[in-house]
Amino acid sequence: MKILALNCGSSSIKYKVFNWGTKETLGSGSVERIGITGSFIRHEKQGCDPHIQNHECPNHGEALKLIAELLQDEKISAIGHRVVHGGEKFKSSVKIDAEVLAAIKAVQDLAPLHNPPNIAGIEAAQILFPDVPHIAVFDTAFHQTMPENAYLYAVPYEWYGMYGVRRYGFHGTSHLYVSRRASVLLGKKPSETNLITMHIGNGVSITAVKNGESVDTSMGLTPLEGAVMGTRCGDIDPAIILFMIEKEGFYAEQIDSILNKKSGLIGITGKYMDRRDIEKAASEGDKRCQLAFEIEAYRLKKYIGSYSASLGHVDAIVFTAGAGELNWQLREKVLTNLDNLGIKFDRIKNQNAMSKDKETDISADDSKVKIFVVPTDEEMVFIEDVVAILEGRYETHTKFTYSFEASNYSRRKIS
């Protein structure tokens, strides 16, 4: 059984083809600059040099045609689609039919930057692959276990009933994967494990996991809330928006663009969103880059403190995603002086943990709380959900056991 996992963004499509029978990746890649001049596809296959092809893709349909042509020798059994926002309706992955697609469209105003390209990808794929099942895998589903006191905002309650204004959370497949892997590394069942999982990429979210379930998370109604991100502001005083509208006469669209695309690290530094660029400039004396590093680390540290208080007992902290997996300097800054919470890291282990291929324990020997660096594998969650749905054995993630929860799972070994 060959599964195609699709992640459709506003100007790119990332994909992976996985052979479930042999448990191997057959190919992966991305189409970049969709809707922008200079579109191209980069396709990678084990044992072969990357294939790069320039091809103008004015829309997602054209981009998917390009992918389909490269995969024409693979008999695709089903397609798993990443859908960022599922609202309250979807608490687990589901086979897409007309009703499901209509429900996804109904909540697209909750994720205007993400759901429209997700929908465009689904519709284009249904045309190109009309005879295979299409499965929606939701970023928000993992967080549907949050209690009301965590997901409701202190705004007029009617807003929740009328418009669904509440905390939803995102990066759910990543938090699910690394939390289950952390349970394995601890030698405990997910239902017995309390964790703080930290997905630190261009987008950043932190989740409090209690007894294997999400009970709080930093992103909110949209992916804008929470930690400092590459281009997103994260937590701010809401009155700042009103203040700047009064001062500058911004329209809603302008404010939205500033907070989502011109804030965060790029807003502080004025020029960089990539942490590698920030680190280089900071080491060369750039004060604003040094400040951006300090602000990001401080905010992440505060989330560890607040979620430690919320959980009461923490078994482990888990770093994942691009910077979480590779940026030892950021991890060091975040973890320093947390001894009062029982959190102690080994500096040498931390500096050596710079891999996207293996899981690492960076805890000090006397740390009461374990600290893991776990490379995320969101596509594996996609693929397993798709296969389980096709085989009629899928349950909501709170009851479902994934193959990567097995003690002998060796796709990524701990060092």
281 pLDDT tier (thresholds 50, 70, 90)? very high
Q: Which residue has the higher pLDDT, 9 or 289?
A: 289
Average pLDDT over residues 149-174: 95
pLDDT of residue 70: 82
How far apart CA 288 and CA 131 sit, in angstroms, is 54
Q: Which of 139, 361, 377, 385 is catalytic?
A: 139
pLDDT tens by residue, 178-225: 999 999 999 999 999 999 999 998 889 999 999 999 999 999 999 999
How far apart CA 182 and CA 171 sit, in angstroms, is 17
State the virtual CA torsion across 265, 84, 395, 133 in degrees, nearest 10. -140
Is the pLDDT assigned to residue 72 strictly greater than 90? no
pLDDT of residue 245: 94
CB-based burial, 144-164: b 16+ in 10 Å, e otherwise: bbbeeebbeeeeeeeebeeeb
Contact 392, 386 (CB under 8 A): no
139 carries an active-site annotation: yes
pLDDT of residue 411: 58
DSSP string spanning 249-266?
A: ---HHHHHHHHHHSSHHH
Contact 20, 2 (CB under 8 A): yes
Mean pLDDT of the chain: 91
Contact 2, 77 (CB under 8 A): yes
330 pLDDT tier (thresholds 50, 70, 90)? very high
341 pLDDT tier (thresholds 50, 70, 90)? very high
Contact 257, 113 (CB under 8 A): no
For the chain, which domains are there? 2-138 (3.30.420.40), 189-378 (3.30.420.40)
Average pLDDT over residues 313-335: 95
Is the pLDDT assigned to residue 47 strictly greater than 80? no
Average pLDDT over residues 46-68: 85
Q: Which residue numbers belong to the known binding site? A: 7, 14, 82, 199-203, 274-276, 378
Q: For residue 10, how far is the Cα from the chain centroid? A: 16
How far apart CA 373 and CA 359 sit, in angstroms, is 6
Is the pLDDT assigned to residue 413 strictly greater than 50? no
DSSP code at position 72: T
Q: How far is CA 83 from CA 144, 206, 325, 375, 395, in A?
A: 15, 19, 24, 21, 18
Q: Which residue numbers belong to the known binding site for ATP? A: 14, 199-203, 274-276
Within 9-79, where are the H helices?
60-70
How far apart CA 77 and CA 57 sit, in angstroms, is 25
pLDDT tens by residue, 100-129: 999 999 888 777 777 888 898 899 899 888
pLDDT tens by residue, 268-278: 999 988 888 99
pLDDT tens by residue, 246-270: 999 999 889 999 999 899 999 999 9
pLDDT of residue 414: 44
Is the pLDDT assigned to residue 291 strictly greater than 90? yes
Q: How far is CA 181 from CA 6, 53, 127, 403, 413, in A?
A: 23, 36, 36, 10, 11
Sheet hosting strand 12-19, strand order edge to edge: 51-54, 40-44, 24-32, 12-19, 2-8, 78-83, 134-138, 94-95
Average pLDDT over residues 321-345: 95
As given in the structure block, the two tokens for residue 21 are: 């029978």
Contact 136, 93 (CB under 8 A): yes
Contact 185, 170 (CB under 8 A): no
Q: Which residue numbers belong to the known binding site for Mg(2+)? A: 7, 378
DSSP string spanning 328-364?
A: HHHHHHHHTT-GGGT--B-HHHHHH---SS-BEE-B-
pLDDT of residue 412: 44
Quote the percentage of the chain above a pLDDT of 90: 62
> In a 10 Å sphere around its CB, with 0-12 CB exposed, 13-18 middle and 19+ buried, how is residue 222 labelled?
buried
Check the CA dihedral 143-147-153-158 and report its sign.
positive
> In a 10 Å sphere around its CB, with 0-12 CB exposed, 13-18 middle and 19+ buried, how is residue 343 labelled?
buried
